Amino acid sequence: MAGGNRTVLLVAHTGRPMAVTSAQSVARRLSEAGLRVRVLAPEAGELCCAAEVVPPGPLAAEGAELVMVIGGDGTLLRAAEIARPAGTPLLGVNLGHVGFLAEADPDDLDGTVDRVVAQDYQVESRMTIDVTVRYNGGVAARTWALNEATVEKTPRVGMLELVTEVDGRPLQRLDCDGVICATPTGSTAYAFSAGGPIVWPGVEAVLLVPVCAHALFAGPMVVSPAATLAIEVIGGTPRAPVGPAGLGLDPGSWRGEMTGAVLWCDGRRSVDLPPGARVEVRRGERPVLLAGLHRHVTETGAPVGAGAPFTDRLVVKFGLPVTGWRGRQARLPGPAADGRTVASEGAAGRGGPAAGPGGQEADGEEVTRADA
C-alpha cells in the first residue's frame, strides 16, 4: 500500500556528496509514490528536497513508518537515538566501510525504495543495554547503547585499574586500557577489534571484553542477558610528564595521583568517571528495530534459518574463503534467490574454474549461498 498517511523520516550523512545525492533521489521517489518525507532541520539545507522539516530529537520519528538512513553504521547509530524512543524501524543504505547495521546496497537504491513503497521488508528486534553510572551513593547518569558501552582510559592515563562484577559478585581486577560491554549487534564492532567473539544477532547475551589487559586470564566472556554487569573504577596511573631535558620534573609529583576514566556508549555519548565511580550494565528495556530486505529461500521455496543473511554478510565483509562448500544438496547453475548467478555445484563446491579465492567467481561476483 502506497500513499495515504505513510511517512518516512530520511537521515543522511550530509558530509558525503554521494549520501546527499542518494538521499535526494530517495526523497523524490518516495514523494512520487505518494509517501510523505521528513528530514531533520540540520540536514535540510544540504538535502534541498521537498520534505517536512523537523527538529532532531525523539519526536522526529513519531508516527513515521520507517527511518531511512543514508550513510554508514555511524549514521545509523545517530538515527537510532531518534528512532528508538518512537519504536520506528531503521533501514540503512550502506555508504560506509563495513556496514553491519546499514545493509541495503547503494547500487540498487531504486529497488530499495520500491520495496519500501511496497512494504516488502522484514522488521527484527535488536537487543540494547541500559547503562547506569553511580558515584558517591547516587545516580550520576543514565544512558543506553545498541552496540557497546565502554569504560576506557583517558588520553593522559597510562593504565586503568578496574574491577568487574557479575550479578553482585566480584569477577576480576584488571590493569587494562578498558572494558567493553557489548550486545550481539555490537560484537562485530569495537568488541571484535578487541578480540571478542562474533555473536549472531538472534542470540541473546552480553559480552564482557577486556581491552589490552595485563593479566594471564583476560579473555572475553559471554554472560546471560538477565545478568547485571558492573565495572568499578579504582583509578588510572597518569603517564610520566614529557618535557624538554633539564626541566627537573619531579616523578613524585605525579606517581601518587590516581585519575579517572570515561564511559562511551556507541562512540556517541560519554560520561566522565572519577575514581570510585561504578558503571552498571543490564539488558535494555527498549530494543532497536531494524528493517531488513534479505529474502533467503531454497530452490524449493522453503525458508532457511534467520541467521543466513548475517552469515552471508560476514563472508562478504571479511572476504572469508568458502571454496569447497557443497551445501545440503546439489545446485543447478542459474539465478539464486536474490538474483545473482550461482555456479554449478561441481565448480563452486570443489573450487573449480568458476570459483576463485574467497569463494568468488572468476569475474569477481560472489558465489551466492541461497540455500545455506
Question: Quick one: cell of 86?
Answer: 518512537
- Residue 73: active-site member: yes
- The active-site residue, picked from 73, 175, 177, 312, is 73
Q: Are 9 and 66 in contact (CB under 8 A)?
A: yes
Active site residues: 73
